Amino acid sequence: MKQISLRILFFALSLAISFVGRAQKVILLQLDTPIYPSTADYVSNGLDKAAAENAVCVVIEINTPGGMMDPTREMVGNILNAPIPVISFVTPSSARAGSAGAFIALAANIAAMSPGSNIGASHPILQGAVPDSIMNSKMTEDASAFIRSIAEHRGKDPELIEKMVTNSRSFSAEQALTHNIIDLKADNLADLLKKIDGQTVSLASEKTLVLHTASADVKTMEMGSKLKFLTYLSNPNLMYIFLIMGLMGLFFEFSNPGGLVPGIVGVVCLLLAGYGMSVLPIDFTGLAMIVVGIILFLLEIKFQSYALLSIGGVVCLFLGSVFLIDETQSVDVLHISWTVLISSVVIMSAFFILLVFLGIKAQFGKKKTGSEALVGLKGIAMETLSPEGRVRVNGEFWNAIAKEGTIAAHSDVEVVGVNQFKLIVKSISLIK
């Protein structure tokens, strides 16, 4: 009987030790990028994993300038309703929970900061908008109500915290602790786990838990290759570069059919840009203007307007790039860098201006050598000549007249004469 009792006691102790071992695990998430949908997925996956593994809590290390509003709301909702405690930690020194990052930090059960870090400056900014415009006012009111509700939920001073939005207030770690914006300061993660050990937290389910973190094992959950890649693609600058490269690739393919490589590169770049546009707040008016700009460049090749169409293309490209991101959908500004924008527009403009210049020079330069220099050259009909159309001879585009009959597009042609600035050509494949 005594042996049975000892076995039961040993079994109970084993279960208790096993349970404690499982409970004393901390899942660490590292939020060190702007806030995109992939960031929200990362945090959501981390909370689910922590709950499944019976972790004692989740620690989110924060160092972000802010980001998009919808993912921020999703992350805040997941944190407020998490089945396990969530601790936010703005770290290391010089780190920031800027703009949307402040919403996430304040939503945690316990908010902590490293000395030298800061939190706040969450006023929405609408680039190019008048400060007292209706849209800017709506954005401010919405963000203000959101951060106020978080403060009230966590028992913080809503009036002071609301000033992060209304007055762009930012607080150092010392100031935040003094004003009860955060719960504690910690030098590093180990210091944080020691300081929160023994604290009691309340969950959304109204359940209270005592944290045992002093000797807990920390398991870092990486974002993962897929989410990292999607985060990179969500960057407005990278999305814009892929968009421009894709359109340029298609431009080269259409202007010089059969090259394949420009077309393939263009399609791949447009697919990569497509993901960014699917998650970023895109203003489709801006996107349409960029497409119109590229079309005008294509028309410049087909109908040489001596740079008029190219100038229109440059204007559309620039304005479309400026308005491409709908900045009303982010807590702070998610926009294309002026450096990237202007560099792209200047490079494309220079390319097309050079293309037009070379075309004009080629046509006027040939006149000086006489028609004999053109006769006998071979080329390709870029369109059906019935009897007039465009041909490419020796890498240059010319207006041409079919000597007889109709010449099909993409037929091989030979120059048999010159009539002012128009070539007279014949084709081997002649359609009677």
Which tokens sit at 123? 């006023």
What's the pLDDT score for residue 107? 95
Pairing mode of beta strands 200-202, 118-120: unpaired
What pLDDT band is residue 327 in, cutting at 50, 70 and 90? low
d(Cα 62, Cα 119) in Å, to the nearest integer? 10
Q: Could you report the per-residue pLDDT of 233-271, keeping only the tens digit for each?
A: 988 899 999 998 998 888 777 777 767 788 899 999 999
d(Cα 271, Cα 54) in Å, to the nearest integer? 40
Contacts of 371 (CB under 8 A, 6+ apart): 417, 418
Which tokens sit at 274? 């497509």
Residue 5: pLDDT over 50: yes
Which tokens sit at 116? 């030298």
Which tokens sit at 66? 């802010």
Residue 20: pLDDT over 80: no
Q: 67 with 97: CB under 8 angstroms?
A: no
- pTM listed for this prediction: 0.71
Residue-by-residue DSSP string for 303-329: S--TTHHHHHHHHHHHHHHHTSB-GGG
Looking up tokens 């401010």, which residue turns up? 140
The type of residue at 158 is P
Share of the chain above pLDDT 70, in %: 81
Residue 289: pLDDT over 70: yes
User: 126: helix, coil or strand?
Assistant: coil
Q: Which residue has the higher pLDDT, 40 or 300?
A: 40
Beta bridge partners of residue 407, listed in sequence order: 385, 430
Compute the average pLDDT of residues 82-91: 95
d(Cα 83, Cα 23) in Å, to the nearest integer? 14
Compute the average pLDDT of residues 75-79: 96
What architecture does CATH give domain 371-431? Beta Barrel (2.40)
Compute the average pLDDT of residues 83-87: 95
d(Cα 150, Cα 341) in Å, to the nearest integer? 37
Rounded to the nearest 5°, which phi and psi values hold at 123?
-70, 130
Q: Could you report the per-residue pLDDT of 101-119, keeping only the tens digit for each?
A: 999 999 999 999 999 999 9
User: Does domain 21-227 match CATH 2.60.40.3080?
Assistant: no
What's the pLDDT score for residue 23? 47
Residue-by-residue DSSP string for 361-383: HHHHHHHTT-GGGTTT-EEEESS
What's the pLDDT score for residue 154? 92
Beta bridge partners of residue 201, listed in sequence order: 209
Which tokens sit at 375? 């006769």
Sheet architecture: strand order including 25-31: 184-185, 110-113, 86-90, 57-62, 25-31, 217-220
Beta bridge partners of residue 35, listed in sequence order: 67
Beta bridge partners of residue 59, listed in sequence order: 28, 87
Helical spans, DSSP H, in 129-260:
134-153, 158-166, 173-178, 189-196, 225-233, 236-255
Compute the average pLDDT of residues 159-188: 92
Which tokens sit at 291? 């497409």
Pairing mode of beta strands 170-172, 118-120: antiparallel
Compute the average pLDDT of residues 315-344: 79
